[in-house]
């Protein structure tokens, strides 16, 4: 239902969501590294295909890593040992950074325009939303190989994994839905209609709700999904019931 203008807007919004992912990568790095090690932030630079590594103790760049074309989202594994970077522009790859040496140790081919990136809580898998392919790639972090390709909705942009690791929530910017992937089988078990042009998604720490940002109309909205039933509250301010 979306035209070329909507697709262009989705591409721009994907970059905004990538900025959120950078913040999340910082939080992951801070929480995962040993107390004796300095915390680092990994920041993607889309224009020149690099990742800047910032020592947060001194707020200085201590390394610049060349990755793929148009890097956007980045996620750090729970143990802090790897950073996974989605390369959006025409490359369809994920760069895997060893955080001990700040070098790229693997490049994983995925779908076209790798956008959102999320690591499972146990660190065994990474899920990558491929916006132009309409798919989500599941990467095994032991071998850094794609072990699943899941067809979702139109123009998937973001991805978030529940705290128990059992489901991944993927907003589809092109058709106003969120695909719910069961990670055990890597199949879509629910498709939840939300607002127009959903872009970002975040799961509450207790795993009970997913919050989805909808870019349009102006002003945008946030849809709140109850993960137990996969129902949502897009118009709660008008007192309407949840819609499945």
Query: How far, in Å, CA of 213 to CA of 198, rounded?
Result: 6
pLDDT at 236: 41
Residue 30 has pLDDT above 70, yes or no: no
Q: Tell me the mean pLDDT in the region 155-182.
A: 97
Query: How far, in Å, CA of 71 to CA of 51, rounded?
Result: 8
Q: Tell me the mean pLDDT in the region 221-232.
A: 92
Residue 237 has pLDDT above 80, yes or no: no
- Encode pLDDT of 148-157 as tens digits: 999 999 999 9
What is 4-238's CATH number, 3.30.1540.10, 2.130.10.10, 3.20.20.450, 3.40.228.10? 2.130.10.10
Place 196 in a pLDDT band, splitting at 50, 70 and 90: very high
Domain ranges of the chain: 4-238
**From 22-36, 53-67, 166-180, 227-241, the region with the lowest mean pLDDT:** 22-36
Q: Transcribe 143-192 into DSSP letters.
A: TTEEEEEEE-SSSB---EE-TTSSEEEEEETTTTEEEEEETTTTEEEEEE
Residue 16 has pLDDT above 60, yes or no: no
Residue 25 has pLDDT above 80, yes or no: no
Query: How far, in Å, CA of 161 to CA of 70, rounded?
Result: 24
């Amino acid at each position: 239902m979306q035209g070329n203008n909507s697709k262009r807007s989705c591409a721009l919004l994907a970059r905004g969501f990538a900025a959120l992912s950078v913040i999340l990568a910082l939080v992951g790095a801070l929480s995962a590294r040993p107390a004796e090690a300095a915390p680092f932030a990994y920041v993607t630079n889309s224009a020149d295909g690099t990742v800047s590594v910032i020592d947060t103790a001194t707020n200085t760049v201590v390394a610049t890593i060349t990755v793929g074309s148009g890097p956007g989202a980045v996620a750090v594994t729970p143990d802090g040992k790897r950073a996974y970077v989605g390369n959006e522009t025409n490359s369809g790859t994920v760069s895997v950074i060893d955080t001990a040496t700040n070098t790229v140790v693997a490049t994983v081919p995925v779908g076209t325009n790798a956008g959102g990136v999320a690591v499972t809580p146990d660190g065994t898998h990474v899920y990558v939303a491929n916006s132009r392919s309409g798919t989500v790639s599941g990467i095994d972090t032991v071998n850094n190989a794609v072990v699943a390709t899941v067809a979702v909705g139109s123009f998937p942009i973001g991805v978030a994994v529940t705290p128990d690791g059992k489901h991944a929530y993927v907003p589809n910017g092109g058709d106003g839905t969120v695909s719910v992937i069961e990670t055990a089988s890597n199949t879509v078990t629910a498709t939840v209609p939300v607002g127009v042009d959903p872009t970002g998604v975040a799961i509450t720490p207790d795993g009970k709700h997913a919050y989805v940002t909808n870019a349009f109309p102006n002003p945008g909205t946030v849809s709140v999904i109850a993960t137990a039933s996969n129902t949502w509250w897009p118009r709660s301010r008008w007192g309407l019931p949840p819609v499945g």
